[in-house]
Amino acid sequence: MDVASTPVALHQYLNGTWAEGQGREIDSRAAADNSQVLARGRAASEEQVDAAFAAAHQAKKSWAATPMAARAAYLIAAASYLKEHAEQFGEELAGEEGKTRAEGIGEVLRAAQIFTYYAGEAERAAGTVFQSPRAGEQILVTSKPLGVVGIITPFNFPIGIPAWKIAPALVFGNTVVFKPASLVPILALRLVQALEYAGLPAGVLNLVIGPGALGDRFIANEHLNGLSFTGSTAVGRRLCAAGAARGVPVQAEMGGKNAAVVLADADLDLASEQVLFGAFRSTGQKCTATSRLILDDGIAEDFLARLITRLEQWTTGNPLDPDVHMGPLVDAKAAASAREGIDRALSQGALLRFQGKAPETGSYLAPTILELPTGEAGRENCAWREEFFAPILAVCTVSGADQAFEAAEDSEFGLSLALFTSNLSVALAAEQALDVGILHVNSESAGADPHVPFGGAKASGYGPKEQGAAAREFYTHTTTTYLRG
């Protein structure tokens, strides 16, 4: 596999200085071949997490007092650094996480785009002025930074998700302690390097790399003023509860079990292409990936035939090979867990409707379609209920839009949904009926633009949404000033 032969050195970034970790030895391994070490170093110790918070606390006053245009200028410079290194960083990302090279480069460029977008906050409205019922008075509502924000991110978007948290946190005047997933630390280093290159003052952004347990130290830290988390629902809910107990605001974007609904009047060619992308791009390791497929019984067989024809052309292999459509899962453990999920689903009555080809080594899993029994039995199946986070699509058939919506709603999660129909009234009814944070009509369930809110309902999200203008809601708090001359 074509990746760097010398492992990247993993360091912590504390108060503007790269420091050797004081915790246990850690490494990051190639997704496709877990024997290959891509990065190596030591994890941060708990004391280093405390030092990161102390540095962020120390820097917070002067950073909050820095004009927003100056804060934005750091983001612009970091964005140009990311664009300049997009190929190198994108390949590193693909090697470490398992998505394809094109997806890796795309994610690095997306991070640059997010930085540029948030730099634009310096030119947007900063508050609101209200009329007062009293003569000679105006009421101003202005926003201020929270202070020190902790940012904890998952493995599957190693630079995209950190960027969409760190950029608004910084531009709105917060200082940051950032902990990426320990499976994918290289892109976190690259992101911090971009901001270091931009000349960000010491203490404004601090990086600690290490296991999930370090996150507990975040919640316990006296300087923590807010926490933004993305990851699994179990960890997110734990952090939300701990934050609430301390009165620290927590924003959590969590798991998903997203459905695609294909109705009888849909354009089946378009729908089969988009369901393929939604379910299998990035090896199904997207929070917004399609993992449940609800088909109107009138078109179910026709649709599945089209989807399977497309999947037969789909190649799985080395993520750095430009001809490959799908890479491995993040590691062999994730693939073993997904295989175990398939076995359980089959033992609970699912039918293996299709399985493509994939290299037979550790981290790979071929695209898989499981057909579930109709009715209750299908909905009890683990492939319907559990987030496998893998290229596995569970299919059920229903009769008409009402049954389809009822099936879609039958999940504890509510992140994203893709609806395929040519009937605008049905699309509008879905917008009202479905408790999801993101609804795609005639496009895949994955995909999010940086200028609009992103986040889930039910077990998929907690607290204010992310991205676009929604980000201000979490990263600032308001002061209402009654101003008399």
Ligand X SMILES: NC(=O)c1ccc[n+]([C@@H]2O[C@H](COP(=O)([O-])OP(=O)(O)OC[C@H]3O[C@@H](n4cnc5c(N)ncnc54)[C@H](O)[C@@H]3O)[C@@H](O)[C@H]2O)c1
Catalytic residues: 253
At 359, the amino acid letter reads: P
Of 303 and 389, nearer to ligand X (C-beta) is 389
Shortest Å distance, C-beta 114 to ligand X: 14
Shortest Å distance, C-beta 229 to ligand X: 7
Shortest Å distance, C-beta 27 to ligand X: 15
At 18, the amino acid letter reads: W
Shortest Å distance, C-beta 289 to ligand X: 8
Shortest Å distance, C-beta 321 to ligand X: 25
Binding site for ligand X (CB under 6 A): 152-157, 179-182, 212, 215-216, 230-232, 235, 239, 253-256, 287, 387, 389, 415, 456, 460
Q: Which residue is nearest to ligand X (CB)?
A: 215
What residues does 370 pair with on adjacent strands? Answer: 352, 394
CB 219 within 8 A of CB 50: no
What residues does 292 pair with on adjacent strands? Answer: 259, 394
Q: CB neighbours of 284 closer than 8 A, spacing ≥ 6? A: 291, 388, 389, 390, 391, 392
Of 134 and 451, nearer to ligand X (C-beta) is 451
